Structure 1
Amino acid sequence: MLDSEVEAPAPHEAPPSPGSIPRRRRRGMLLGGTAVLAVGAAGALYATQSGESSTPAKSASSLPTVSVVRTDMVNTRDVDGTLGYSGNYSVLAAGSGRITWLPTAGDVIAQGKRVYGVNGRDVPLLYGTTPFWRDLKQGMTNGRDVLELEQNLDKLGYGSGITVDRSFTAATAEAVKDWQEDRGVTRTGVVGLDSVIVQPGPIRVTELKAVPGAPAGGVLLTATGTERVVTVQLAVSDQKLAKKGAEVQVTLPGGKKTKGRIASVGTVATAESTNSKSQTGEGTQNATVPVYITLDKASGAGDLEHAPVTAGFSSAVHKNVLAVPINALLASSDSSYSVNVVNAAGTVRSVPVELGIFAGDKVEVSGSLTAGAKVQVPQS
């Protein structure tokens, strides 16, 4: 065989499959034109000799081929996290009396629905960020609590005759009376301090702290919001990966994947716990900040309420680039790389390539290649 000719490697000489490459290492390597990829870390690469030319070989290809593709490549950093629900709330009973009804753990309570019962009277949920601190009635001074009440009356279908503002008017009192009548309580036009529960949105009961028949006082139950949230403790050194609104791929137990977006990034770093044997600065070196990710689809988590998950943060995005399977690469002794391109006649030529980013089982390449060209891969 001439020195310029390249013979396709025999199938039995193919290296281990890409699955033998640790995922974190395979995805984490960002390689430029001068970067070096260790052959040991890329077990899917099979060796070739340095100094090979691009001259077609005389022998026909004996290995399977795949097409070079043009695509967008996204390099990700995987970080462990926890799937749960947004927010944590404690529902307190105000006033006096006996508890006559309680929900059960897992119940979801929406606007206007009862949270608990006291002395046979239902206490409904209203949405707002300011708890009521006084009885609301006609003639009172203006305030944000009045605004929240009128906003809720409007959402519940009793706002046709009122102006939603901070003023409790006669029209507001009439709307309250209509709401009370439909709930089966006395038409007073007054919303007592202990007659409603105010929370930012719908709640999901997590644990009961009281039982029917007990005095109505203190914490009755704990709850969360209904939005599914993934919480990740991200190393401060990786904080640049977390941008509000950025897309994140969440991998659930069993391998199911769903998409989410970064809702917020914490601003308080927490140092890793240390002890008397820890080195100075060890805690701060491993400090983390919380990152909160909401799922694009509430159904994306299936029936799971809480679970360990993996969040994939995009660390690099290269658009409209050429890519080949990792195991199509041939590593030379001079730390350069090439692929074997097979033409329509079945002959093979070696084409030098430079590597870009890795994503999954593919790697970005540049060189004398075109999309659609056929490159050899070892048999699995």
Structure 2
Amino acid sequence: MGGATAERAPAKEHEHPPRRRLPRLKVALAVGALVAVGGVATAAALGGGGDSGGGTAAGLPPATAKVTRQTLKDTLTEDGRLGYGPAHTVTSQAKGTLTKLPESGDEITRGHELYEVDGDPVVLMYGSKPSYRPLAIGAEGSDVKRFEANLAKLGYGGFTVDGEYTADTADAVMQWQDDIGVAETGIVELGRVAFASGPVRVDGVHANAGEPAAPGKKILDCTGTAKAVTVELDTADQRMAEEGAEVEVTLPENETVTAKIDEVTTVIEPGEQGQDPSTKVEVTIWLDSGEAKKAAAEYALASVDVAFTAGERENVLTVPVAALVALREGGFGVEVVKGAASSYVPVETGLFADGRVEVSGPGIAEGTVVGVPK
């Protein structure tokens, strides 16, 4: 939220209890364990490690599995909150007395009053940055152009939207000031306009009518007006969240809709009772397609499941992650079993997913038998 300076507001609790989180594969830990175990086993089993980097195993493995050809997907399912997206706090830029405030749930659009100071409205307009100075004849810059663009959208004319505050701009401003009921000065005072990226929904109010307004005073929390899903990920799972990537959202009645990630933000949460701060990755997914809007319309706040896909490999050769061993000379290999004998063969690894790993290399083909622990 701009104009009135914006900051991240605390998330509200859901109406529905959160769902049980689905278990996820700890690939990094699994590979780490394999390196430790495989390294010891290989060092003992391999001789000089021939030209191919492989060697003959001392004995047959306790169990085996076949190399299979399949599609691998690196996926993660997490709990999400269906609501109106992240809330932001609106702070005052004007001095005076708060004389009128909106109610929670009110929706406010461009050109309408957000709240009131000394009987005069603070007006909502659309833009990505807040106001930081008064605007008068002679002012130039992107903030001037942003205000002029809003004035034009509200139907005022006679000036050019070009970032230069001219006498023509001032004339249009005086018409606008007359319409909103404030003094017709031709100057846009700091605090008269609050900027947001679009229409807002009041999520909560921090102040009461009659209280003093001053720069920095928290007035209200607001969100967008469209439905959105918010998910918090651990920083270790940040690869799952790329802007524009598709996700699947499962609603309370098990209806699934496809949506795209719109925003990925790193949030530092202060520690409680002496604990260290924690860092989370907050993902916002707006349900703005026709299908998603219709499916989510009946829910105000709800708990949902969100399935992320970070990577996909089609038609690749795979083995169980447990089949990997660490070769003495570096890299990974697998123990290939042929009849009553086995040998270590180096492999290149690719995507890890669902307890399996993509592999390739000489001697690795669909149906090849490899050793695995029991």
Range into which the TM-score falls when normalised by the shorter chain? 0.5 to 0.7
1:263 and 2:235 correspond: no
The amino acid across from 1:228 in the alignment is: K
Deviations 1:271-328 (CA, angstroms, capped at 9, x unpaired)? x99x99xxxxxx9xx98643332224344422433322111123666889xxxxxxxx
Work out which of the residue numbers 186, 198, 203 in structure 1 matches 2:200.
Answer: 203
Secondary structure of the equivalent of 2:213?
A: coil
Partner residue, 1:141: 139
Partner residue, 1:221: 220
Once residues 296 and 200 of structure 1 are traced to their aligned partners in structure 2, the CA distance between those partners, rounded to angstroms, is 15
Once residues 119 and 280 of structure 2 are traced to their aligned partners in structure 1, the CA distance between those partners, rounded to angstroms, is 49
Structure 1 residues 154-169: aligned runs within 5 Å:
154-158=152-156, 160-169=157-166
CA drift at 1:118 = 2.4
Partner residue, 1:336: none
Secondary structure of the equivalent of 2:176?
A: helix
CA drift at 1:167 = 1.0
Deviations 1:128-154 (CA, angstroms, capped at 9, x unpaired)? 23322322111x332222122111111
Contact preservation (8 Å) 1:124, 1:196: yes
Secondary structure of the equivalent of 2:148?
A: helix
Q: Between 239-248 and 203-212, report the one with greater CA deviation.
A: 239-248
Contact preservation (8 Å) 1:229, 1:294: yes
Partner residue, 1:34: 67
Partner residue, 1:96: 95
Partner residue, 1:335: none
Partner residue, 1:291: 283
The 1:296–1:89 alpha-carbon spacing in structure 2 relative to 1, beyond 3 Å, is closer
Structure 1 spans left out of the alignment, 5+ residues: 1-22, 37-71, 277-282, 321-356, 359-380
The 1:176–1:229 alpha-carbon spacing in structure 2 relative to 1, beyond 3 Å, is same
Q: Between 106-115 and 176-185, report the one with greater CA deviation.
A: 176-185
Once residues 289 and 132 of structure 1 are traced to their aligned partners in structure 2, the CA distance between those partners, rounded to angstroms, is 28
Task: Say which one has the larger Rg.
Answer: 1
Work out which of the residue numbers 303, 306, 310 in structure 2 matches 1:311.
Answer: 306
The 1:316–1:130 alpha-carbon spacing in structure 2 relative to 1, beyond 3 Å, is closer
Query: Kindly, what percent of the aligned residue pairs are identical?
Result: 39
CA drift at 1:254 = 2.8
The 1:183–1:87 alpha-carbon spacing in structure 2 relative to 1, beyond 3 Å, is same
Structure 2 spans left out of the alignment, 5+ residues: 1-21, 28-64, 316-352, 355-374
Once residues 237 and 117 of structure 1 are traced to their aligned partners in structure 2, the CA distance between those partners, rounded to angstroms, is 45
TM-score normalised by the chain length of structure 1: 0.55
Deviations 1:32-55 (CA, angstroms, capped at 9, x unpaired)? 97259xxxxxxxxxxxxxxxxxxx
The alignment's C-alpha RMSD in Å is 4.0
Work out which of the residue numbers 185, 189, 194 in structure 1 matches 2:191.
Answer: 194
The 1:243–1:143 alpha-carbon spacing in structure 2 relative to 1, beyond 3 Å, is closer
Secondary structure of the equivalent of 1:98?
A: strand
